[in-house]
Structures are given as C-alpha cells and as structure tokens.
C-alpha cells in the first residue's frame, strides 16, 4: 500500500493507526494545506498564452482547486472532494455539518471539512468579499502582515460536541488577483507578475512560449518568493530563468539556484529588467 496524504487540521481526536495502515496520520496547519492544494491545482503556474484559456476566470481557478481535491483524503477512504466547498452558504444552511456527521460514522478518526473562499478584505475573524455575505470564523483568520487582498482563504471546519459544524480558524493567502490564485508575498511581487504577463505576450508574438511558475517547496527561498520562467519553442526548452522577489532592501546575495533578487530598488531603476533581458537572450 502506498502512502496517502491526509488533508486535515484537527489532531485531537485521532486514534492510533490500524496495523499496516499506510495513511499519514499527522495533521498540518491551514497555511501548509492551502499551499499544498494550490500546488496540486497548478494555481502557482501561469501557462504560456498559446497553451492557456484566453480569458481565465475565477470559476476556472476554483475548478482547478476542486479538480486537485480528488487527489486527497480527509481520512482513510474519505475523499477531500466530498468535504470541500467553494461558498459559505453550505456552512450556514447546515450542509457541511450534515456531511461531517455522516462521514464520521464511517471513519475511525475525526473528519474535517474545508471552505475555499475568495475575499478582498480581512478583519479577523471576519472575511469580506464581493457578492457574498461576510464570513465569520469563531476564533481567528491568520494572514501574512503588510499586504492587502485579494485573498484565497481556506477555512477549517469540524464537528462541535452538539453536532453542529464549527469553523474555528482560517488562513488568508494573498494572491495575484481574482482570476489568478497565484500566491504573492508583496505588492512588489504583484507588479513583477504583471510585467511577466506582458513578457509572455511579447514572446508569444515571436513564436516562443513562456511559462511562469511561483516555486512552492524546494528550491524556494524562505526569505523571498522564487519565480521560475521556462522559455520554450515547439515544446523544446530554450532557457530556464529563476529569480526571487524580496520586498525589503535587505540584500541577500543570489545563489546557484537563484540568479537575481528583485528588490524595490532594482525594480524601480530597471536593474531587474536589464538582467532579465540578458538572461533570456544569452
């Protein structure tokens, strides 16, 4: 039996694993779970214009997340796809509680549920977004400091002792914009991504494809998000360029894996653009 990743955040009611059970039993915080789901859904990738929908939408991005949910379980043999909702209404009208009660009857461990929501503002513990009622969690919404929305928010849900669903915590990940659920760590990174989308269009006109990937996991840096560009022509890779985006001016030297560090200064003075042109054309 192969190991299966368990998408869960509530460890307190776990039972010891059955003999020979291969499922992973450790829990993960909501930020890590959201990062894992984003990567599985390829929301951290912007494909070349010739290989992507002409007008990506928020519906497309949620569709990616739902598609990726097929690859995870919230408990052994309990699929995440049946415990993930993309609106707050199922929680309010009791659908989430009903599903968790039913699944818990057939599981040897507690069963979690999750809401993946789009929001524009967070005032913990309340999430605000367009065309939706404000959503309140019972304890706190965690988020990175110093960067405004929009956000992709993962809300963790579990059964309360009285059988109702509760949503104690959520994590709000800043994203590029509502049609691209790519994680960002600063407004500078959003500016860089907008410029890279223009680069994609320019290269497409020259018959070359440019894929943008926000690296999650290794070899991503902890102190600065890592972006990788893959330039290709007729599916043959011509060049791979990797750089990091650091929103402060604390200079971290480039490494073997990272060719350049974009800072507010190198963005403003054109240093990054000059380096990128050289890196692509070399």
pLDDT tens track for 142-199: 999 999 999 999 999 999 999 999 999 999 999 999 999 999 999 999 999 999 999 9
- The mean pLDDT of 251-272, rounded to a whole number, is 85
Residue 13 has pLDDT above 50, yes or no: no
Residue 52 has a pLDDT of 81
Instruction: Say what percent of the chain tops pLDDT 90.
Output: 76
Residue 16 has pLDDT above 70, yes or no: no
Question: In whole angstroms, what is the distance from residue 131 CA to residue 115 CA?
Answer: 16
Closest CA to 6 of 105, 76, 64: 76
For residue 187, count CB atoms less than 10 angstroms from its CB and return exposed for 0-12, middle for 13-18, buried for 19 or more. Answer: middle
In which residue are the tokens 């190198």 written? 266
pLDDT tens track for 185-244: 999 999 999 999 999 999 999 999 999 999 997 655 556 899 999 999 988 999 999 999
- Identify whether 219 is preceded by a cis peptide bond (ω within 30 of 0): yes
* CA 165 and chain centroid, separation: 24
Residue 27 has pLDDT above 70, yes or no: no
Question: Does residue 61 contact residue 180 with C-beta atoms inside 8 Å?
Answer: yes
Sheet of strand 236-245, all strands in order from the earlier edge strand to the far edge: 45-46, 209-214, 226-233, 236-245, 261-262
Beta pairing class for 113-119 and 84-85: parallel
CA distances from 13 to 17, 36, 96, 149, 165 (A): 12, 23, 19, 34, 15
């Amino acid at each position: 039996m192969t190991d299966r990743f368990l998408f869960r955040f509530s460890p307190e009611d776990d039972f010891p694993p059955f003999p020979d059970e291969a499922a992973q039993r450790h829990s993960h915080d909501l930020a890590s779970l959201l990062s894992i789901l984003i990567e599985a859904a390829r929301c951290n990738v912007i494909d070349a214009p010739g290989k992507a929908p002409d007008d990506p939408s928020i519906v497309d991005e949620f569709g990616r997340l739902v598609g990726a949910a097929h690859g995870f379980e919230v408990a052994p043999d309990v699929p995440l796809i049946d415990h993930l909702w993309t609106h707050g209404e199922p929680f309010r009208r009791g659908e989430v509680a009903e599903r968790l009660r039913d699944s818990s009857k057939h599981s040897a461990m507690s069963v979690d549920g999750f809401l993946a929501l789009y929001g524009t503002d967070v005032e913990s513990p309340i999430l605000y977004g367009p065309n939706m009622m404000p959503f309140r969690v019972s304890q706190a919404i965690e988020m990175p400091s110093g960067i405004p929305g929009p956000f992709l928010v993962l809300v963790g849900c579990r059964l309360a002792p009285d059988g109702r669903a509760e949503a104690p915590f959520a994590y709000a990940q800043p994203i590029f914009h509502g049609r691209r659920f790519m994680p960002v760590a600063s407004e500078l990174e959003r500016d860089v991504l907008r410029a890279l989308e223009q680069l994609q269009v320019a290269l497409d006109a020259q018959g070359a494809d440019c894929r943008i990937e926000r690296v999650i996991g290794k070899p991503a840096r902890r102190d600065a998000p890592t972006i990788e560009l893959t330039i290709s022509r007729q599916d043959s890779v011509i060049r791979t360029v990797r750089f990091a985006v650091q929103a402060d001016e604390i200079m971290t030297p480039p490494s073997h894996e990272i060719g350049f560090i974009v800072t507010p200064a190198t963005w403003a003075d054109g240093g990054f653009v000059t380096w990128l042109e050289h890196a692509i054309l070399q």
